[in-house]
A and B are shown apart, each in its own frame.
Chain A
Amino acid sequence: MFSKLIIYFSYQLKSSEKYNNSKLFFFNLLENPRSKLKNYFDLLMIGLIVLSIFFLLYEVEHETGAVGGYLEHTVLVLFVCEYLLRFWIYSDTHIIILDEHERALYLNIKFSLIGALKKAVYKKIEYIFSPLAIIDLLAILPSYRPLRILRIFLVFRLFKLFRYSNSAKLFSDILASKRYELLTLLVFACLLVFIASVSIFLFENSAKSTKINTLFDAFYWAIVTLTTVGYGDIVPYTTGGRLVAMLLILTGIGVVSFFTSILISAFNEKMPVLQENRTFAELAHYKNFIIICGYGRVGQEIAKRLSADKQKFIIIDKKEQNVELAKKHNFLVIKNDASKNDVLLSAGICRGATTVLCITGDDVTNVYVTLTSRHLNKDIRIISRINSHENLNKLYQAGADYVIRPFEVAGMLAAEFLGQPVAFEAISGILQNQTEIVMETVMVSVGSSLENQQVDAIELKLKKLTLLGVISANPVHLKHKNKYQVKQQHFYFNPEPGFILRHEDILVVFGRKYSIDHFRDQIEQDRLLHRKKA
């Protein structure tokens, strides 16, 4: 009966929107590393901890009065709340119970409430004994009056900072990864300290003018010597004591250097992970970036141009050499296989990326990455490179929007250059923005002064611009000649003077960059002016 009630209650909780929402809110606030709320909360907590430690230090010599008391209470309440909330969101007791219940139903065995509860409680205990939870508790406990002696543990609040700072957390992770080595070293060091302090105590205790009167003094001396600090406040006088000192100093150097080398090697091992984390953290701030898969010759060329444009991008490549090169240029790079779903996902294909470039030298890889990208994001623009002609259709089938054929483009340019070198240089100069003359598009927007104008009425010649043509999808223009189908639109080359512009037509003009900009600005100003009048 009682267990039925609990199960009923659990189902209620599971379906309760309010409960789930509030739990989600606190999860976002406390644990979710992607949420903004957590950032603010972490900052607040860091501030509070520093403030409370400051008051603790101030209190040692001064009277703080009521303000200090209030602060202490606020901090304490907040800490307790935080501790309890974390305790709450660590696991879902009702889900555990329901899982057990459903399992029992499925297997047709008797549901044991005790067993389910045991599991749930075990989960909670797991939380209580997690290192960070212990630190949290130690930060709270000393405020309890009867335990005033634990005041020193208030400093544990500083350890709480670990929770709120990623780099500190990383440091502890690194230490944890070398647990075995550090433990071995610790055992060895303890043994050494024990032997040294016992023997120095035996040798020195009986000597005249000795300072080692207790075992604690010997222990203190051993630590100071082992760590190569050597204050010199306690020195051995007997030959035996000095022998012990000599041995301890030599082994001490070994212990210290061993410890250092463990730390350094641990950091070295974690370095790639650290850098990757930094990459992802930086990527999270970007919007409208480009994913470049493959940092070969083509990728390098594109990256160079994009970085000159201040366009954000991320490179994925699995070759060590290419990754190193990208790092040298300070580009964001992930060393991994771009054909894996999770790699593309973590590169942000569904979050902020606008375009994927599949430009490795291998057609099979390009097709596979294209397919993967299209599968992950239906709307993203994919530009792929193909090296051998017969694979062209495969790439379009895989979902590429554009396919580039480097060798064919280059071959074509070679032929053009042979036939018409001057024209070729001119047009490639314009297209690549190498000259001061550029070719750009100007959009006829709704309500702009260009709308319903005849082409010759714009007087582009006076503005030192040449109109090359008009791009339009508007069927009104279809009667004009010189039209060229370009995808879903038409390009009207050299339109007649009577060509009437409609909205959403695009003018293709060339001229100096600033004439074009000026022209564009004028149109925009006109449009705004008209709108005001209207």
Chain B
Amino acid sequence: MKQVAVFGYSRLSMEAVSRLDKEIYDIIVIDHNPAHLALAEIEGLKTLSIDFRSDEDLKSIGIGSTVETLFCFFEQDSENVFLILSARALDENLNIIAIVDSPESAEKLLAAGANKIIDPYEICGRKIHDILKRPDITDIFDHTVFGRHDLHLAEVVVPEKSYLENSYASQLGLSARYNLILIGVVNKQVNDKLDFVVEEFDRKLNVGDILVILGPSREIRAFKKDVENEFCKI
């Protein structure tokens, strides 16, 4: 189980939490507003009311030890900045995702130590722009990848001793064999940047590389199973 601490329970947190697989993630919701906590309890979530300003309280819920991911979803940017600063001091490797309210706070949040900031207004603006400019593609992604239809993005890490190691990206033939489309590969040895398949075709896969694939979840599961099975040959 991966532990996720959600600070601040709003519509945004509700949506994010509902999308997380409860079997993989152990979620705990912290808010200083009892009404918000009550809402979270209705959803069947674990809740706690602690003072986020106190390092002791943060430690008590496992920040610095068991908690791997921190969602800073407070409404005030200043509260989020404070929380990020405290949490980052407690744990160097914590994965911190924060929302930002006013655009000038984005830099402050990053400077405080957030790994990823999410600007709901910017995302909304971008989304509307997409609808205006490319309605077809936006529609597809809304209904499939981001929607209810069974079409998902997935990451597959090349494990040791799998058949993927030392094979070429172009020879995988994912679309015929698994009904999956390979979007790109991240070469962990070089950098964390994603190389798109269309660009570099003859690319030898190494252990630790990440394949980004798109397809129905059944096919993704089948592919992952085969990859992890070291005796599987193709």
Residues of A within 8 A of B (CB): 290, 296-302, 304-306, 309, 311, 355, 357, 359, 383, 385, 387-389, 402, 404, 406-427, 429-432, 435, 437, 439-441, 464-466, 468-469, 471, 482, 484-487, 491, 493-494, 497, 506, 508, 510-512, 515
Contact residue among A385, A425, A427 (Cβ-Cβ distance under 8 Å from B124): A385
Contact B19 A411 (CB under 8 A): yes
Contact residue among B11, B69, B196, B198 (Cβ-Cβ distance under 8 Å from A407): B11
Whole-angstrom distance from the CB of A232 to the nearest CB of chain B?
Answer: 62
Contact B137 A494 (CB under 8 A): no
19 CB-based A-B contacts, threshold 8 Å = A297-B102, A298-B124, A298-B128, A301-B121, A404-B127, A406-B120, A409-B123, A410-B16, A410-B123, A415-B15, A415-B20, A422-B212, A426-B184, A426-B194, A427-B141, A432-B130, A468-B214, A512-B198, A512-B199
Contact residue among B69, B129, B154 (Cβ-Cβ distance under 8 Å from A423): B154
- Looking at B21, B120, B128, the one whose CB has the most chain A CB atoms below 10 A away is B128
Chain A residues near B175 (CB, 8 Å)? 494
Contact residue among B12, B125, B134, B145 (Cβ-Cβ distance under 8 Å from A301): B125
A354, closest chain B residue (CB) = B132
Contact B69 A301 (CB under 8 A): no
**A369 to B215, alpha carbons, bound, how many Å?**
40
B141, closest chain A residue (CB) = A431
Contact status of A482 and B118, CB under 8 A, knowing A411-B16, A415-B20:
no
Contact A302 B128 (CB under 8 A): yes
Q: Does chain A have a CB within 8 A of B168?
A: no
Contact B216 A482 (CB under 8 A): yes
- Looking at A385, A406, A482, A497, the one whose CB has the most chain B CB atoms below 10 A away is A406
Contact status of A412 and B19, CB under 8 A, knowing A402-B131, A418-B97, A423-B153:
yes
- Looking at A296, A402, A432, the one whose CB has the most chain B CB atoms below 10 A away is A402
Interface string of B184-209 (1 = CB under 8 A from A): 10100000101011110000000000
B130, closest chain A residue (CB) = A431
B121, closest chain A residue (CB) = A297
Whole-angstrom distance from the CB of A11 to the nearest CB of chain B?
Answer: 53
Contact residue among A290, A406, A511 (Cβ-Cβ distance under 8 Å from B198): A511
Whole-angstrom distance from the CB of B73 to the nearest CB of chain A?
Answer: 8
Contact A412 B210 (CB under 8 A): no
Q: Does chain A have a CB within 8 A of B13?
A: yes
Whole-angstrom distance from the CB of B171 to the nearest CB of chain A?
Answer: 12
**A530 to B120, alpha carbons, bound, how many Å?**
49
The 7 tightest CB contacts between A and B, nearest first, are: A301-B125, A411-B15, A415-B19, A297-B121, A406-B124, A410-B120, A411-B16
Whole-angstrom distance from the CB of A408 to the nearest CB of chain B?
Answer: 4
Contacting A at CB under 8 A, from B41-75, are 69, 71, 73
Contact A437 B196 (CB under 8 A): yes
Contact B15 A408 (CB under 8 A): yes
Number of inter-chain CB pairs below 8 Å: 216
Whole-angstrom distance from the CB of A318 to the nearest CB of chain B?
Answer: 19
Contact B118 A410 (CB under 8 A): yes
Q: Does chain A have a CB within 8 A of B233?
A: no
**A429 to B102, alpha carbons, bound, how many Å?**
23
Contact B127 A420 (CB under 8 A): no
Contact B15 A508 (CB under 8 A): no
Contact A412 B198 (CB under 8 A): no
Whole-angstrom distance from the CB of A331 to the nearest CB of chain B?
Answer: 14
Chain A residues near B99 (CB, 8 Å)? 410, 414
Chain B residues near A515 (CB, 8 Å)? 198
Contacting A at CB under 8 A, from B98-151, are 99, 102-103, 116, 118-134, 136-141, 143-146, 149, 151
**A510 to B141, alpha carbons, bound, how many Å?**
14
A313, closest chain B residue (CB) = B132
**A417 to B95, alpha carbons, bound, how many Å?**
11
**A462 to B176, alpha carbons, bound, how many Å?**
17
Chain A residues near B198 (CB, 8 Å)? 437, 464-466, 510-512, 515
A483, closest chain B residue (CB) = B149
Chain A residues near B4 (CB, 8 Å)? 418
Contact A441 B153 (CB under 8 A): no
Q: Does chain A have a CB within 8 A of B181?
A: yes
Contact residue among A385, A388, A410, A506 (Cβ-Cβ distance under 8 Å from B12): A410
Contact A359 B194 (CB under 8 A): no
Contact status of A491 and B144, CB under 8 A, knowing A301-B124, A437-B199:
yes
Q: Does chain A have a CB within 8 A of B155?
A: yes
Chain A residues near B19 (CB, 8 Å)? 411-412, 415-416
**A510 to B134, alpha carbons, bound, how many Å?**
13
Whole-angstrom distance from the CB of A139 to the nearest CB of chain B?
Answer: 52
Chain A residues near B14 (CB, 8 Å)? 411
Whole-angstrom distance from the CB of A100 to the nearest CB of chain B?
Answer: 55
Contact status of A408 and B129, CB under 8 A, knowing A298-B121, A417-B116, A465-B198:
no
Contact A389 B11 (CB under 8 A): yes
Contact A414 B143 (CB under 8 A): no
Chain B residues near A304 (CB, 8 Å)? 125
**A387 to B183, alpha carbons, bound, how many Å?**
33
Chain A residues near B127 (CB, 8 Å)? 404, 406, 409
